[in-house]
Structure formats: C-alpha cells, structure tokens
Structure 1
Amino acid sequence: MAQFVDWDLAAATAGALSKTGPAVSLEEATQVVAELRALTEEAAGHVAAYTGLTSQVEVPPVRVVDRRDWAKVNIAGLQRVIGPLVSRIAGDSPPGPLADAIGSRVTGVQAGTILAYLSGRVLGQYEVFSGEPGQLLLNAPNIVEVERKIGADSRDFRLWVCLHEVTHRTQFTAVPWMRGYFLGEVQAFVDASQGGEHILERLRRGVATLSEAVRDPESRASVLDIVQTPAQSAVLDRLTALMTLLEGHAEFVMDGVGPEVIPSVDSIRAKFNRRRESGNPLEKAIRRLLGIEVKMRQYAEGRKFVHGVVDRVGMTGFNRVFESPLTLPRLEELGDPDAYVARVHH
C-alpha cells in the first residue's frame, strides 16, 4: 500500500523550516547541555522524594536536542505508531495509484510544517512512541530562548523545566502499565472509526487543517473534524482525562518542589504564565487548532484536581491514581475531587 505520509519528506520539510536557535557560542552550548543533564539528575531525586514514586524500569539518559533533532525524533515516533495503524486500516492492498503517492508527499510536507512550528516552542517532552519505556527530550535552544525572553536566572529556570519533564518521565516509568494504556487508547480511537478509508481521509484533512493554520491564522477549520463517532468521543474523553491528570500532576510537583530548591521560582512562574497567556494572532490561532489552548486549561484544571485529592488523602493516597486504569479520574471527576475520592477511597 502507499504510505499515508512521506516521512522522509516530512523530516526534510521540518529541517528546512525550523527556525535557528538563539545565538550561543560553542562553549556556551556545551555548558547548557552539560547543565541540563546534571539538572535532570538533580530533578529526579527531588521528584522521587516529593512524590514517593520511583522508576520500575531502567531509565534511558536524558537526550538534549536542538530543534531539528526534536522534529526527527518525533517523526520517527509517529512513523512507528502510525504506520502499523494505517496498515491495519487499509489492509494489505497492492500499491495504490499515483494519486496516493502524491497524497503522501502532500501530507509529508504538511506534517513537516507542523513539526517545524512545534520544534520552536516545545521546551521538553517525554516521547513514548519511539520505544519502550520512552525517552526524555530537552529542547536546549527553546529553553535558552525562553529564559532570556523572560529574564529568568538560567539555572533556576532550567531546573524548573527539568522538574516538570522528569515528573512526566516518572509517570511513565514508575507506572508500568501507563505507556501501554496510552498507546492502547490511541489504537482504540482508530478502531472506533466507521470505515478505514474514511478515517484515513479525515486524518489527512486534519493534518492539512493544522498545516493551513500554521500558514494562515485566519483559518477557522477545526481538527475536531477528525472525531466522527460516539465511540471515538468516549476514547477522546478518556485521553483528555489522562493528559489533564499527567499535566496537572507535573505542574503540582514542580510548584511543590520549586520553593525548596529554586530561589526565584515565584518570579519564574509569574513571568512564564504571562508568556503562556499572551501571543500574537498567529500564535493564538495555532494554539487553538493544535489543542494547545485546551492543554493550557489542562495545566490549571489538572493541578487543581491533584491539589484537591492530596489535600483530602495525602500524597500516598493520591498515588492510588496510578494503581490501574480503573483508578484514573474520569473526565467529569476532574472538577470534583470529592467525587473521585468517594469512588476510589470508599
């Protein structure tokens, strides 16, 4: 069958469109990489002590990347998870007509455009698609650029970012079933579609919508067009609840640990929140279409939920959330910690 995405072209497009990072000397770049690696280790100790969670698997060392490398890693991960899904949807049909090949090249350019945009904004990520158990990435140019823009103390800001991202790594390595559950829900979303060819076309349209938004902030299309069935909506609710929990937990941990180890944490949080909330029309349009506006709400809602549960049952009690998929919060419980505690701690 023809490829859904021309991944080589996606990588080439992302590389060509990625913005250059902030001006740094070779000596400074080397120092940034070394410090981020050291701060990752320091953050791991703080996160384990604060949460009571420890990795149950061997954890690969952090990978400090630039913008192009970040895009390459994510393209490899997407290729690994999307390829088998597309094969299952479309079946083992013979290679399609020339139009399919052209379509994969168009989608490749569009995917590369989106990843180039994101590569200039993501500070860190726990990438779970590329292999077990996942890989912690820190995007050094973006971290340096943001700390300069908000006038933060560089070591304080870097440790603050590491606390957040190491918490995500801990969530996936201290909870053995988490990665499989997440990938299973992605699979369930595809399985819940009505007809393979139809969802492939909708996925293509979703990629095109995002790519168009990167180029044209006036676009009013929505990637929610990809969601087509009640079953898919149910899966999306579970994924939204999961991501809200994980983001809120990371925010709760970084703010809980921060005052003890980061002298300027209050200033950093205030400046960073102002930066999150601001943005030119292009930024706001992209955030809406990529779901980043939803993600920003997830940070606040998730942090409030975690805080509410910890207040009621303590950190050890909260950690029951990671016992099994059945103890994860439901979407409607995120705004009602009492209801969650009543269900899980009855």
Structure 2
Amino acid sequence: MADDDDNPFSGIPFLGDIASIFGGNEEQLWEGARQAANQLATGGKLEHNVDPVERHRLSEISRVAELHVAHVTGLQVAPQLEPVTRSGWATSALETIRPLMDRLSERLKQPDPASSTAHDPFAGLLAMMSPMTVAMTAGMMAGHLATSAFGNSDLMIPMPRVLIVTANIADFANEWSLDVDDVMLWVAIREHTMHAVLAEPGIREHLDRLLVEHVDGFRRGDPMDFGDLELPTSLGDASDPQQLQAQFGEQLQRIFGNPEMLLGVTRDEHQSISQLETLICVLTAYVDDVVAQAGPRLIGGFGALSEAVRRRALTGADYADRLLGVRLTAEARDRGDSFVAGVIERAGREGLARLFEPGGLPTPNELVAPGLWLARLDLPL
C-alpha cells in the first residue's frame, strides 16, 4: 500500500481511499481478473469437466492430425492436444497474456509530458488505476474469447500447452449441422500446425518482439480522450464529493464494460503494427494451406466445413484482437492468401518453407510482392 507522502489524494475524502485500494496487492488484482474471466467464460453457470469419452476421442483424432501435419510441414509437432473447459482455457489464456498486460500497466502509469493534464490530480488517479483496469481488462478479454475459442490459435500468442475447447467445437458443429468429429479433426490439424509454427525459434522471437513493441506503443491519454466519457478534468468540476464519487463510479463501470474506451484510444501508431499484421497474415495463410492439404484426405465435406470456419473468422468478435493488434480483416486475410499462393506458384511449397529460414519472414512491402521476397532470399548475405 502506498505511503501517504506518495498519495496525492491522502487528504481528500473518497479519492484517498480509492487511491489506497489501487495501491494494494497485485496478486489480488489478478485473482479478481481470473474470477472475472471464469465468470464470463461460463456465463455464471455450473461447468462440468470434460467427458472422458470426449478426451479419448480427441486423443485419437490428435494422433491422426499429428502424423499428417508432420508429413506436410516437416516441422516438429506437439505430441498431444489437451481438452479443456471454457474456464480452463480462459485461465490459461490469462496466464499467457499477463506478462504483456503487466508491461502495459507499467506503460500506462507513465505520465505524458505533452499532456495538458500531466499534473492534474484526476489524471494521477487514472494512472494509479492502471494495474486494476488492465488486470480486469485482461480477465474480460480471456473470458470473452473462451466463449467461442476452438484452441490456442484464437489467441495467437504461444501457450505452453495445446488446449482445445471441446464444448465450443460441439456448439459450432451443431449450429452449422456439421459432424463434430470432422470439426474436431479440422481444429486438430490447425492447432498442431500453428503450435509447430510458433515453436520455431525465429518465428517465436519475431512475434515476441513485435508484441512488446505493440504494447510499448500505448500511452496514457488525457481523461477526456476516453471516447464519449464525460469525466471531470479537475477536482474543481464537482463541488460535492458525493457527486464526484457517483459520477466516477458510473464512468468506471462503462470503462470495464467496454475496455476499448481505455485502451483503444491510447495507442500510438507505429511501424510494428503493420509488421505484426504482416506476420499474422502470413502465419494464418500458411496454416490454412497446410489444413487445405491435409484436410480433404481426412474430412468428408471439407469444403462446407472450411467455408463455415471462414465465416466464423470474419464475423467473430474482435475484443482481444483490438487490444493485441492482431485483428485480421477480410482484406488482410486475402493478402496473406495471395502471398502464399504467389510463392507456391513461383517456387513450390519448398519455396514456402523458406519462411523458417533466418530472416525469412516477409516485410509489409514483400507481402504484396512474393517475387520480391524470393529474390531477397536469394541475394548473397
């Protein structure tokens, strides 16, 4: 808990109490975030463990997918896929993104010298709020994703285990009148491939660097930058402390209900955004190509299933994508697909495997010019 000398609100009723709470135990904040994630993932309903029959079925499907992915890609493929509940996936996703969110929290604590409210007590309060707000934002993001995620690929950040949300797969299969085992096999091929790709040292290091640069592009903006929130810009805007408390509580609820108000308007544009999008475009298109090679051999009705999944990807919520900078529009996906097709046309799939060479990832300019990318790789070092 912060000392009174470090607390700019220590002499002010209500604000001093809130500032002290925000300076509390960080682990308690993240435990609250975990509870929020689980609550959102389950809708507050009782959640049963994964059925042993489903676990055995996924184990068999996983082995089939593993063999085909290894044959098509030549990459080292993870041994097994692990079925989890929605809350289990949300907890693992939250643990995975926490280092980035902690970095973001520290970033948002820093005052912006150019801000007109750099020395405003209310701006200081918002800065002190950042650990709590970021933790709760991360919790809601993980819980929101868990309601529809098939597996790790829906987060696009490497996770230590390959997790599959069988309940979401069953719901999707039922919604589209698809065979659940076919959907499970499609997901298994995709998850094995994506995990193998992200495990490649060059890919992992590049992705980690871009995510850190992306997070470092956030800054704490002026209080009035929060979209249409009507926060007071100084303590003098409210003569009655109770009125200020009620107004602040209202707006705080809106921030938690729509975290983009906090984070979406405080990110500086940076070259890492286009580089991150380029990387995700290429990796997604590469994985799609592997699925397109292996899937038809194993899955009946592969075309209808692929179309249903494509529509899901384009209409899914972008809650997490906006925060992490990996939202792919239809146009972005088309660019990735065109790049992969262009490389295969010019150099075959052996040429596409050069993505995993040192320095083999394309730049944003090369994404729309696969021939230029191949030419660069052939230049002497």
CA offsets, 1:38-86, max 9 Å, x none? 222221211121123235xxx4643321111111111111223443675
Secondary structure of residue in 2 paired with 1:152 = coil
The answer for the alignment partner of 1:64 in structure 2 is 83
Report the alpha carbon displacement of residue 16 of structure 1 after superposing the two structures with TM.
1.6
Q: Distance in 1 between matches of 2:48 and 2:100?
A: 37
The letter for the 2-side match of 1:44 is E
The letter for the 2-side match of 1:142 is N
Q: Distance in 1 between matches of 2:302 and 2:107?
A: 48
CA offsets, 1:171-229, max 9 Å, x none? 023x22322222122233455x5xxxx72569x979x99x969957xx99695534315
Q: Which moved more, 1:334-343 or 1:244-253?
A: 334-343
The answer for the alignment partner of 1:264 in structure 2 is 301
Q: In percent, how many aligned pairs have the same letter?
A: 22
Secondary structure of residue in 2 paired with 1:64 = strand
Change (3 A) 1:180 1:273: closer
Q: Distance in 2 between matches of 1:214 and 1:98?
A: 16
- 1:185-334 paired onto structure 2 within 5 Å: 185-190=210-215, 193=217, 199=219, 215=257, 225-228=265-268, 233-277=270-314, 283=317, 289=322, 294=328, 296-324=330-358, 326-334=359-367
Unaligned stretches of 5+ residues in structure 1: 92-96
Secondary structure of residue in 1 paired with 2:201 = coil
Q: Distance in 1 between matches of 2:264 and 2:105?
A: 19
| 2:136–2:256 contact (8 Å) kept in structure 1 | no
The answer for the alignment partner of 1:181 in structure 2 is 206
- What is the aligned counterpart of 2:55 among 16, 33, 36? 33
Query: Which protein has greater RCO, CA pairs closer than 8 Å, 6+ apart?
Result: 1
The letter for the 2-side match of 1:327 is G
Q: Distance in 2 between matches of 1:136 and 1:79?
A: 18
Report the alpha carbon displacement of residue 161 of structure 1 after superposing the two structures with TM.
1.0
The answer for the alignment partner of 2:197 in structure 1 is 171
Unaligned stretches of 5+ residues in structure 2: 3-22, 111-123, 230-250
Change (3 A) 1:170 1:21: farther
- 1:88-237 paired onto structure 2 within 5 Å: 102-125=129-152, 134-173=160-199, 175-190=200-215, 193=217, 199=219, 215=257, 225-228=265-268, 233-237=270-274
Give the TM-score, by structure 2 length.
0.69
- Which has more radius of gyration? 2
The answer for the alignment partner of 1:17 in structure 2 is 40
Secondary structure of residue in 1 paired with 2:51 = helix
Q: Which moved more, 1:61-70 or 1:161-170?
A: 61-70
The letter for the 2-side match of 1:49 is H
Change (3 A) 1:51 1:147: same
Report the alpha carbon displacement of residue 120 of structure 1 after superposing the two structures with TM.
0.6
RMSD: 4.0
Q: Distance in 2 between matches of 1:256 and 1:223?
A: 39
Report the alpha carbon displacement of residue 268 of structure 1 after superposing the two structures with TM.
0.9
Report the alpha carbon displacement of residue 117 of structure 1 after superposing the two structures with TM.
1.5
Q: Distance in 1 between matches of 2:39 and 2:368?
A: 43
CA offsets, 1:213-265, max 9 Å, x none? 9957xx99695534315xxx111222111111111111111112111111220
Q: Distance in 2 between matches of 1:4 and 1:22?
A: 25
Secondary structure of residue in 2 paired with 1:138 = strand
| 1:123–1:143 contact (8 Å) kept in structure 2 | yes
Report the alpha carbon displacement of residue 89 of structure 1 after superposing the two structures with TM.
8.4
| 1:64–1:137 contact (8 Å) kept in structure 2 | yes
Does structure 1 residue 337 correspond to structure 2 residue 370? Answer: yes
| 2:75–2:196 contact (8 Å) kept in structure 1 | yes
Give the TM-score, by structure 1 length.
0.75
